[in-house]
Amino acid sequence: AQSVAQPEDQVNVAEGNPLTVKCTYSVSGNPYLFWYVQYPNRGLQFLLKYITGDNLVKGSYGFEAEFNKSQTSFHLKKPSALVSDSALYFCAVRAPYGQNFVFGPGTRLSVLP
Amino acid sequence: GAVVSQHPSWVICKSGTSVKIECRSLDFQATTMFWYRQFPKQSLMLMATSNEGSKATYEQGVEKDKFLINHASLTLSTLTVTSAHPEDSSFYICSANSGTYNEQFFGPGTRLTVL
């Protein structure tokens, strides 16, 4: 069965500093991995995905994520955080031949001015 | 990217009434749509998978007679919360698959408050 863990409920970072939001997963076969961001009372916005190829994936708004197969991780990163990055971030995994996504519990990112 | 809309964005209703939420794929056809429920400060919980022209597949613990799902066309799925009660108050989000890798694109969500 697929599962996703986001070990941190909350991440605080100062504006301008680099940020990391952690994600580990469990899935049979090669995973399809996704990051989404959710602002208050809004749906989820797609940030980036890893399907195959280069382990470092670049996405929207300056975010990137690195797929690490040996550690079964897909951490989200940004070199310089903005206050406007403050939101709820969800990691998700899908098995290669499935349709359903499994979401992590979410990590609330607060970027402090 | 693909755009998914939901209507209404928020609704307040009295206990015992039914509420219909629409989910539309605006610029693509979606054979499969998903309905999620999200409680405050929690992750998304998949309620059901909606396939165009066939019955929805409900997740364990989700009452199919309570949450009626219809997917009559390739661009529209509806969720009807029947005989709503305060405990049904939640944020309901739909999504639709698109693209080579079946990426999910999400609607903006509907906040339901049952008084």
Is A70 in CB contact (< 8 Å) with chain B? no
Half-sphere exposure of A64 (CA within 13 A, CB side): 11
SS3 B115: coil
Q: Cβ B106–A43 below 8 Å, yes or no?
A: yes
Q: In which band, very low, low, confident or very high, does the pLDDT at A5 lie, cut at 50, 70 and 90?
A: very high
Question: What is the share, in percent, of chain A residues with pLDDT greater than 70?
Answer: 98
Q: What's the pLDDT tens digit per position in A32-83?
A: 999 999 998 788 898 999 988 899 999 999 999 999 999 999 999 999 999 9
Question: Rounded to an integer, what distance in angstroms lies between the CA atom of residue A60 and that of residue B77?
Answer: 28
CA B62 to chain centre: 13
Residue of A nearest to B31 (CA): A99
Task: Answer yes or no: are the C-beta atoms of A73 and A7 closer than 8 Å.
Answer: no
Helix (H) or strand (E) holding B91: strand B90-98
Question: Rounded to an integer, what distance in angstroms lies between the CA atom of residue A17 and that of residue A93?
Answer: 28
Q: In which band, very low, low, confident or very high, does the pLDDT at A28 lie, cut at 50, 70 and 90?
A: confident
Residues in chain A with CB shorter than 8 Å from the CB of B102 are: 94, 99
Residues in chain A with CB shorter than 8 Å from the CB of B91 are: 41
Question: Rounded to an integer, what distance in angstroms lies between the CA atom of residue A73 and that of residue A6?
Answer: 10
Residue A55: how many CB atoms within 10 A of its CB? 12
Tokens (6 digits) for A7: 């070990």
Dihedral in degrees, nearest 10, Cα atoms A46, B3, B1, A35: 10
Distances (CA, A) of A7 to A19, A46, A73, B46: 15, 21, 11, 21
A37: distance to nearest CA of chain B, Å?
A: 11
Q: What's the pLDDT tens digit per position in B29-71?
A: 888 899 999 988 788 889 999 888 888 999 999 999 999 999 8
Q: Cβ A100–B32 below 8 Å, yes or no?
A: no
Q: What's the pLDDT tens digit per position in B13-28?
A: 999 999 999 999 998 8
* DSSP notation for chain A: --EEE---SEEEEETTS-EEE--EEE-SSSPEEEEEEE-TT--EEEEEEE-SS-SEEE-GGG-EEEEETTTTEEEEEESS--GGG-EEEEEEEE-TT----EE---EEEEEE-
Chain A stretch 30-59, residues whose beta carbon is closer than 8 A to a beta carbon of chain B: 32, 34, 36, 41-46, 49, 51
Confidence (pLDDT) at B53: 82
Confidence (pLDDT) at B1: 64
Q: In which band, very low, low, confident or very high, does the pLDDT at B99 lie, cut at 50, 70 and 90?
A: low
Is A113 in CB contact (< 8 Å) with chain B? no
Residue B100: how many CB atoms within 10 A of its CB? 6
